[in-house]
Structure 1
Amino acid sequence: MADRFSLKIMANHRCLLKNVWNRFYAISRSTATNNSAQNGDDVETCFKRLGDLSFNDTQEAFKSKSNFDLWRALIVLNLCSYETLVQHNLTLMNTTKKIFGQRIFETLMRWSFYGHFVAGANEKDIRPSINRLRAFGVKSILDYSVEADVDTVEKSMEIEDIGGIVDRRVGVISARTYTYEGEPECDRNMEIFRNCISAVTDYTGGTGFSVIKMTALGRPQLLLRLSDVIVKYQNFFKLLTRSDLNNLTECKLSEEQFAKRLDELGLKTDSKELKDWFRECDHNGDGQLDIYEWSRLLDQKFKLAKMFKIVNLRTGKVESLIPDLSELEEAQYRNLIRRIDILAEFAQEKNVRMMVDAEQTYLQPAISRLTVELMRKYNKKKPVIFNTYQAYLKKTLCNVKIDLQIARRDDLYFGAKLVRGAYMLQERERAGAMHYEDPVNPDYDATTVMYDSVFKEIIEEVKKRPMGKVAVMCATHNEDTIRHVLNIMRSNGIGPQQHVCCFGQLYGMCDQVSFPLGQAGFSVYKYVPYGPVEGVMPYMSRRVQENSGSGGMLAKSSRERKMLRQELKRRYKKLQFFYNPAKYASYPEYL
């Protein structure tokens, strides 16, 4: 009897173990299949899932949205179509807060604009949003989007004139512009960026990006002066080597060639000062100068005034390009370098990729140069640092070629984010006021051509280097550009598993592109802002303007509204009154 009972128990155990194993195997296989679909499929498999490239499938586009989400999106985008409301949106939000009080105001915002454009108040709040994105094939770029109120900033400080622009916020809709409020504020910004990097590690499973702006980490006036110096040094080097921007990185100058060139320019070359200058500039000691010898840019012990010296071709004397830099300014520069280096090292330690945002052209030479130096230091084993390139500028292709050449020469991982750009109106106004050539492409079509040309150049570099050494994020809402990028990927056999190309769009915008791409297996990211309602009001204001006629995205917003209405009608016809997105998740293990 006991033996029979024991046999029965053993049989039950075997049955239970078999069921547990089958369940575990099924889940493991499902998870493996999902992960394969998301990260390991070839490009043709992804294209089959995607179908045509019209991005008209409302069911795929809004699979992750509840009916409430769709109604909220439709109402918010409809409100954005009223120009009067858009022009006074920040005033209206402040008035609503005064009338109803903070609590009711925040509730209204969470049901409307805040809930649509912002993921949550803090790192803990945003986790469900990040998980839901991931469950539908979309990854995250985290950004703590709290900004000081414009009026508060202006009352608390005197805004500094930066290169002829008194207020860099004027004429800029789609990008945040930091104003310098002192070194303690820059330290606080650094801590905010550090927290974002930690959040990427904690909440995205190492798949996300973080973003920094250098003007948040130091005095913009220093970046302006450094940019001016870099341009002057480039012109000086071009004159000595008789080169142009396209082959500048390939040119080297030996001490003998340097002396010969100065002779041709009518300068005495037996000067000890000139020989000392050459050897001082030859930081790596190989007996040759190149355009990017300044490996000491990230050295906090080295003074800028000593680093940037050139030969005055009229007098033959060696002169500093920054002769009047004060001790305070030198200290401010060292603080800037310290902050960006801390963030880059922290990102590397946390295995997080860090994007450096592009800014105005009169600051960009310094920002790009410092970013390249960060790449030299941190991109030796994996792509940690990503530079940003703005396609609306005439010199973008040339600048990308230079940086690709540096990465190839130094055997670095090259990471790029390609955008159209955010500062067009301000750039044109400054060029007109200061009487120099407009740096911006003449029209939208020319910018599109530039965007396509830069992407093709990067793909050509992908072919020349080991797979994975070059990566690019195409951050755009333009469907034609996305189709063009997809077709180039297809023709070159580039799939998601090769980690070459990914896409990026803003949270709450362009869902008809992001989600179908992600669910098909392509690598797609949403720029996910977070912060308390009060602090992100300026961010929400910019998103409202972008979705209006004044932001230039009215046609795209109109298309999204039409698709939202179509999806609501489709669901109600199928009696899906209580639609549950979790049932349709492509990767339910993330929920």
Structure 2
Amino acid sequence: MKMTFYGQFVAGEDQEAIKPLLRRNQAFGVGAVLDYSVEEDLGDGRSRTSAAEKEMGGAEKREERFRAHQGFGDHRGGVTGAHTYFYADEAKCDQHMETFLHCIDASSGSSDDGFSAIKLTALARPQFLVRFSEVLMKWRRFFHQMATEQGQAGRAVLDTKLELEKLQEALANLGIASKAESQQWFTGEKLGTSSTVDLLDWNSLFDSRTKLSKPLLIPNRKTGQLEPLLSRFSEEEELQMKRVLQRMDVLAKRAMEKGVRLMVDAEQSYFQPAISHLTVETQRRFNKSRPIIYNTYQCYLKEAYDNVTGDVELSRREGWHFGTKLVRGAYMEQERERAAQMGYEDPINPTYEKTNEMYHRCLDYVLEEIKRSRKASVMVASHNEDTVKFTLRRMMELGIHPSDKKVCFGQLLGMCDQITFPLALP
């Protein structure tokens, strides 16, 4: 039999054409992940960054990669391993949403808890995602600055805890908030119940404070001046935020209705803080009883483990189901080129071996969480035979049966004849 890339990766050209293959695979317990691409929208990758966006400045090197940049304005140059979208207008985003809805409908019935994949750059203006990512990273960097001043530099993310009284004094000394004002900040359902504040508490403070009329100020360490955190968000960008959340809401509701799991793909690291934030917001709403929304973590990133552990801990505190797709990554060439051109640290692990270690470390953490709480699920999206064997071995050691739907495998093309799946645990 002649085998082609088309035959392995493409189930058919429309919803009707894919049904025979989906039914045949379902008979063998193989589900489907439907992913929409629009190749006719790909261009030459030239920037369409506006003059206003080119003038963005004042952020330190830590935020440099989250700026608009002439050579990478539409995020397509140098990308060969993953599909990207060209932003035309909000109407085009709505059209993409409608197509994603058709994919969800087609996934329904393909298997129990089928998957449909989406990309947020199809649902939002990429430059908005860059700007929002910059804001999120500024807020996170401010937390780590405060931690350094309290002598906690270099600690693991979840082990870094600010002493509340010292933090309030620092905020008052900086002129950001009086002690009385900050005491109001740190009271609430979860804040103010202990004498320390960790990064998850800090992020929840960001969510609540940015909804208030008074601008949230943070210090610019270069100038020594206070600057509004959201100073670069225009009224139009506020509308874009609302629109993308509304589109995600529509897709999540359809996925829940159809019994389909929705995977939000990871993209370039300078979009990813915004993408992950919006995805987690959707998980908090829709993953209350089971994992409907899956976030994707790219394990070639140096910060992958911190991101996974932080989101797992957030799901524990709030009681929702953590759903993840673990991949190695698809944008290495572009990420490294952009880092070199813009002068910030390469976000990618230095070697293939380090990426493998990161993947297995993140995977093991999620498998432990599945064993511990049964409120986590993972798709092991890897072509790597050693990773699949590692997963099966750890599942057996943890007493997780290979047929457990909390763990599923993606991208096993060409490997099924090489791996013996255990039929039962000893």
TM-score normalised by length of structure 2? 0.82
**Alpha-carbon offset, residue 118 of structure 1:** 1.5
Residue 377 (structure 1) aligned with residue 285 (structure 2)? yes
Contact 2:265 / 2:295 at 8 angstroms: preserved in 1? yes
Which string of whole-angstrom CA distances, capped at 9 and with x for unpartnered residues, describes residues 385-426 of structure 1? 111011111111111111111111112211110101000000
**Alpha-carbon offset, residue 307 of structure 1:** 8.6
Which string of whole-angstrom CA distances, capped at 9 and with x for unpartnered residues, describes residues 409-457 of structure 1? 1122111101010000000001111111111111211111111111112
**Structure 1 range deviating more: 127-136 or 354-363:** 127-136
Residue 177 (structure 1) aligned with residue 69 (structure 2)? no
Residue 136 (structure 1) aligned with residue 45 (structure 2)? no
Which string of whole-angstrom CA distances, capped at 9 and with x for unpartnered residues, describes residues 447-477 of structure 1? 11111111112222233x32x3111111011
Whole-angstrom distance in 2 between the partners of 1:186 and 1:136 = 36
Whole-angstrom distance in 1 between the partners of 2:303 and 2:340 = 18
Letter in 2 for 1:169: R
**Alpha-carbon offset, residue 211 of structure 1:** 0.9
Partner of 2:294: 386
Partner of 2:349: 441
Letter in 2 for 1:335: R
**Alpha-carbon offset, residue 498 of structure 1:** 3.3
Contact 1:389 / 1:419 at 8 angstroms: preserved in 2? yes
**Alpha-carbon offset, residue 179 of structure 1:** 1.6
Alignment length (residue pairs) = 396
Q: 1:316 to 1:193 in 2, by over 3 A?
A: same
RMSD between aligned residues: 3.3
Partner of 1:279: 184
Contact 2:45 / 2:75 at 8 angstroms: preserved in 1? no
Q: Whose radius of gyration is greater, 1 or 2?
A: 1
Partner of 1:396: 304
Q: 1:317 to 1:216 in 2, by over 3 A?
A: same
Residue 480 (structure 1) aligned with residue 386 (structure 2)? yes
**Alpha-carbon offset, residue 237 of structure 1:** 1.8
Which string of whole-angstrom CA distances, capped at 9 and with x for unpartnered residues, describes residues 44-69 of structure 1? xxxxxxxxxxxxxxxxxxxxxxxxxx
Letter in 1 for 2:391: V
Residue 207 (structure 1) aligned with residue 113 (structure 2)? yes
Which of residues 203, 210, 215 is equivalent to 1:292? Answer: 203
Letter in 1 for 2:10: V
Q: 1:337 to 1:461 in 2, by over 3 A?
A: same
Whole-angstrom distance in 2 between the partners of 1:397 and 1:129 = 37
Q: 1:170 to 1:267 in 2, by over 3 A?
A: closer
Which of residues 133, 153, 156 is equivalent to 1:246? Answer: 156
Contact 1:277 / 1:318 at 8 angstroms: preserved in 2? no
Residue 513 (structure 1) aligned with residue 422 (structure 2)? no
Question: Which SS does the other structure have where 2:16 is aligned?
Answer: coil
Letter in 1 for 2:415: V
Which string of whole-angstrom CA distances, capped at 9 and with x for unpartnered residues, describes residues 264-322 of structure 1? xx4468x65x744663686758547622216859xxxx977959723437799864212
Which string of whole-angstrom CA distances, capped at 9 and with x for unpartnered residues, describes residues 15-71 of structure 1? xxxxxxxxxxxxxxxxxxxxxxxxxxxxxxxxxxxxxxxxxxxxxxxxxxxxxxx22
Partner of 1:52: none
Which of residues 244, 268, 285 is equivalent to 1:336? Answer: 244
Structure that is richer in helix per residue:
1
Contact 2:294 / 2:324 at 8 angstroms: preserved in 1? yes
How do 1:456-467 and structure 2 match up within 5 A? 456-463=364-371, 465-466=372-373
Q: 1:144 to 1:294 in 2, by over 3 A?
A: farther
Whole-angstrom distance in 2 between the partners of 1:127 and 1:268 = 63
Q: 1:281 to 1:378 in 2, by over 3 A?
A: farther
Question: Which SS does the other structure have where 2:32 is aligned?
Answer: strand
Q: 1:167 to 1:262 in 2, by over 3 A?
A: closer
TM-score normalised by length of structure 1? 0.60
**Alpha-carbon offset, residue 171 of structure 1:** 2.0
Residue 418 (structure 1) aligned with residue 333 (structure 2)? no
Whole-angstrom distance in 1 between the partners of 2:278 and 2:311 = 12
Which string of whole-angstrom CA distances, capped at 9 and with x for unpartnered residues, describes residues 343-371 of structure 1? 12222232221111101111111111111
Which of residues 216, 220, 225 is equivalent to 2:122? Answer: 216
Q: 1:360 to 1:249 in 2, by over 3 A?
A: farther
Q: 1:197 to 1:220 in 2, by over 3 A?
A: same
Structure 1 residues without counterparts, runs of 5 or longer? 1-69, 77-112, 523-591
Whole-angstrom distance in 1 between the partners of 2:288 and 2:236 = 34
Contact 1:380 / 1:413 at 8 angstroms: preserved in 2? yes
Letter in 2 for 1:430: R
Q: 1:437 to 1:286 in 2, by over 3 A?
A: closer
Contact 2:266 / 2:297 at 8 angstroms: preserved in 1? yes
Partner of 1:194: 101
Contact 1:305 / 1:321 at 8 angstroms: preserved in 2? no
Structure 2 residues without counterparts, runs of 5 or longer? 55-66
Whole-angstrom distance in 2 between the partners of 1:136 and 1:349 = 25
Whole-angstrom distance in 1 between the partners of 2:135 and 2:214 = 11
**Alpha-carbon offset, residue 485 of structure 1:** 1.5
Contact 1:358 / 1:364 at 8 angstroms: preserved in 2? yes
**Alpha-carbon offset, residue 151 of structure 1:** 4.6
How do 1:57-206 and structure 2 match up within 5 A? 70-71=1-2, 73=3, 76=4, 114-151=6-43, 158=48, 163-164=68-69, 165-201=72-108, 203-206=109-112
Letter in 1 for 2:304: T
Partner of 1:6: none
Whole-angstrom distance in 2 between the partners of 1:283 and 1:343 = 31
